[in-house]
């Protein structure tokens, strides 16, 4: 089974802190994604990566950056956390190719910024 793990299930940080969210997948997937999930807004794509050291902005990249130094690991960085970044963060991965792009999700990190 594909497994996507995230470093923390719950995280509480203070305004202005630098925050790292880590995601690791074990199925050699090329593509990795970071979403945030908020009530009434569904999933919104922050950043994605289709290869090591490659990254692309999603719909809401402001205030975030990412790093992908190894194929299995994709990190989301909040340079200076703010209260409006309190949310559920979901990491996902998928295989490249001609098949339908199924995504595999981690359990999520619920981040609270106070």
Partner 1 sequence: GNSVTQMEGPVTLSEEAFLTINCTYTATGYPSLFWYVQYPGEGLQLLLKATKADDKGSNKGFEATYRKETTSFHLEKGSVQVSDSAVYFCAVASGGSYIPTFGRGTSLIVHP
Instruction: Considering the complex, state which of residue 77 and residue 95 has its C-beta at the smaller distance from partner 1.
Output: 95
CA quadruple 87, 88, 94, 98: dihedral sign: negative
Binding mask 65-94 for partner 1 (x = CB under 8 A): -------------------------x-x-x
Q: CB count, 10 Å around CB of 114?
A: 10
Instruction: Considering the complex, state which of residue 59 and residue 79 has its C-beta at the smaller distance from partner 1.
Output: 59
Choose, by CB under 8 A, the member of 14, 15, 20, 107 that binds partner 1.
Answer: 107
| Contact call for residues 104 and 27 (beta carbons, < 8 A) | yes
Q: What is the rounded distance in angstroms from the CA atom of residue 20 to the CA atom of residue 41?
A: 23
Residues lying near partner 1 in the complex (CB under 8 A) are found at 4, 31, 33, 40-43, 45, 48, 50, 90, 92, 94, 96, 100-108
């Amino acid at each position: 089974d594909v497994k996507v793990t995230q470093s923390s299930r719950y995280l509480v940080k203070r305004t202005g802190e630098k925050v790292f969210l880590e995601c690791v997948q074990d199925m050699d997937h090329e593509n990795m994604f970071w979403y945030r999930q908020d009530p009434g807004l569904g999933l919104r794509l922050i950043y994605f990566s289709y290869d090591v050291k490659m990254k692309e902005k999603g719909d809401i990249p402001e205030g975030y950056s990412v790093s992908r130094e190894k194929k299995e690991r994709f990190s989301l960085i909040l340079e200076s956390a703010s209260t409006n970044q309190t949310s559920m963060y979901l990491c996902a991965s998928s295989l490249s190719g001609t098949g339908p792009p199924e995504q595999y999700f981690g359990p999520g990190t619920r981040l609270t910024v106070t």
